[in-house]
Structure 1
């Protein structure tokens, strides 16, 4: 009965997480305790705030699959202690060993916990572009994490993925058929999706956001992100989606909070450019209709500037 209620809630579109909510799991370094999204698919939902000392960098979703013949973890975690805490939660759920860790991109909260898992003799899989991004910027990434995480950074060492792939990496383990995909350019280099077609569930990574404004980076191609979404991601028509950030939900919800936002910002910046507007003014295009999204205050003006710079040369 409880599982039925959870699934119905996901399909209806859940209440959104808020930056105002304190740590939901104070007895653990994890921001929140993992829960079973659908049978044998678990996720510890991160804060929708930026990484802070209080959330220890657990501001993305750390998921795991209990296949019947081992566990697959999605995301190494933002540091050694988060990875260790997630492993402790997995052991509470099952005695099946962790056999693989998948990094959803090259950012710190996906890869900085890798050394915990490799110490256990577990391989780490990532897209080749994500691995390259982490290799290029890992010194800055770990320094940033050490600044906010303080003692929670202890034990973290830089370890790159042990396996890379380009287009897809297919896994048949236990009762699960799992397709690890790179559907195309999106939020950041090497964005990775974990697709369980038999279950209709997509662990979307940073292709999709829910309840949190997507950050747009200097290497984000927003027009490419839209194309990848419309030609490769949405046609898979997943029933359930665990986004990179925010609560598990459905396709319509993440499309609104991700694609509708990106398209709206591009339209406003495009109008600004058509009117001869300069970068200084582009920061202040009206995004107030998205103020309900967490991290709006931190990201809206930055995103506008990045999209202006991108579209200026299109």
Structure 2
């Protein structure tokens, strides 16, 4: 099978948030690709969730171990989870034995109802499970308004297992380490690290083709510390990010760590000059205009970093 050799190359030109759907006939945005032997990912749109992309705007990955399949992310609906399972069955007759969710957001957990209905354990960090319990209903309603009948069958179902630091599975030639590295993009963010293959499914720890969003609870200084002390230490050869095509550490370092440092430097200078929140929205972010979702997120990100940094 042809592998996605582009995973070692800068891929900023491969994403385009204006392409509504790349897999007609399926609710998945794209057909799964084999990134390295045994590791597949159905790459979502680098755009906000829409009816056209069926809410599939994150990466849904799976690992064919020889002793069962491990899925990363339940998906944003029952139908997305079911569609991914259908693709898995085209690749292998091995059963799905576990699903990890990268965080507590809807696109990671709203498909839980499908997988739990199949008798598959759904595993999440304790903070992610709490986040989904608190905000899952709100997220489900937002998805229902967006994807309409494509949300049919979706019910709020909590993860069946939780952990705090690390959850390890040994299957075939794969050692699968689900790790909480520390505070990052959202509560309970985890990465799935495959040390034998030097591949990390980074979730929202790392972005590159689309601009990262900074939420009210996203502490950018903490994210940078987690990046420097834990994520870089993995020294991964391959990175499957939460959004966008598989790539390498240099790319996600440039557009995640680099962007956070750049924006904090600009906002810091703005504060030092006596600038206010209204002015913070207009700090120069032009080096990142090539990223998808720049128009939706850049000014929001600047405002939230200002609100954090004025109290640091």
Instruction: Tell whether the structures are fold-level matches, with TM greater than 0.5.
Output: yes
* Coordinate RMSD, CA, aligned: 0.9
Q: 2:87 — aligned with what?
A: 89
1:189-231 deviation per Cα after TM superposition (whole angstroms, max 9, x unaligned): 0001000000000000000012100000000010010010011
Q: For 1:98-137, what aligned pairs fall within 5 Å after superposition?
A: 98-137=96-135
| Alignment equivalent of 1:10, drawn from 7, 13, 17 | 7
* Aligned partners of 2:2 and 2:34 also within 8 Å: no
| Alignment equivalent of 1:198, drawn from 196, 199, 202 | 196
SS class of match (2:177):
strand
Q: 2:278 — aligned with what?
A: 280
Q: For 1:230-245, what aligned pairs fall within 5 Å after superposition?
A: 230-245=228-243
Separation of aligned partners in 2, 1:72 and 1:81: 18
Q: 1:52 — aligned with what?
A: 50
Residue 21 of structure 1 and its aligned partner are, at CA, apart by 2.0
SS class of match (1:209):
coil
The 1:2–1:138 alpha-carbon spacing in structure 2 relative to 1, beyond 3 Å, is: closer
Q: 1:185 — aligned with what?
A: 183
Q: 1:255 — aligned with what?
A: 253
Q: Which 10-residue stretch deviates more, 167-176 or 86-95?
A: 167-176
Separation of aligned partners in 2, 1:16 and 1:93: 25
Separation of aligned partners in 2, 1:132 and 1:22: 32
**What TM-score, normalized to structure 2?**
0.98
| Alignment equivalent of 1:301, drawn from 299, 302, 310 | 299
SS class of match (1:169):
strand
SS class of match (2:22):
coil
SS class of match (1:202):
strand
Does residue 155 of the first structure (1) align with residue 153 of the second (2)? yes
Separation of aligned partners in 2, 1:16 and 1:230: 27
SS class of match (1:96):
coil
Q: Which runs of 4+ in 1 moved over 6 A?
A: none
Separation of aligned partners in 1, 2:152 and 2:105: 19
Does residue 42 of the first structure (1) align with residue 40 of the second (2)? yes
Task: Structure 1 unaligned segments of length 5 or more: list them.
Answer: none
Residue 236 of structure 1 and its aligned partner are, at CA, apart by 1.0
Separation of aligned partners in 2, 1:137 and 1:204: 23
Residue 139 of structure 1 and its aligned partner are, at CA, apart by 1.4
Q: 1:214 — aligned with what?
A: 212
**What TM-score, normalized to structure 1?**
0.98
Residue 12 of structure 1 and its aligned partner are, at CA, apart by 2.1
Separation of aligned partners in 1, 2:7 and 2:169: 26
Residue 20 of structure 1 and its aligned partner are, at CA, apart by 1.8
Does residue 267 of the first structure (1) align with residue 265 of the second (2)? yes
Aligned residues between the structures: 311
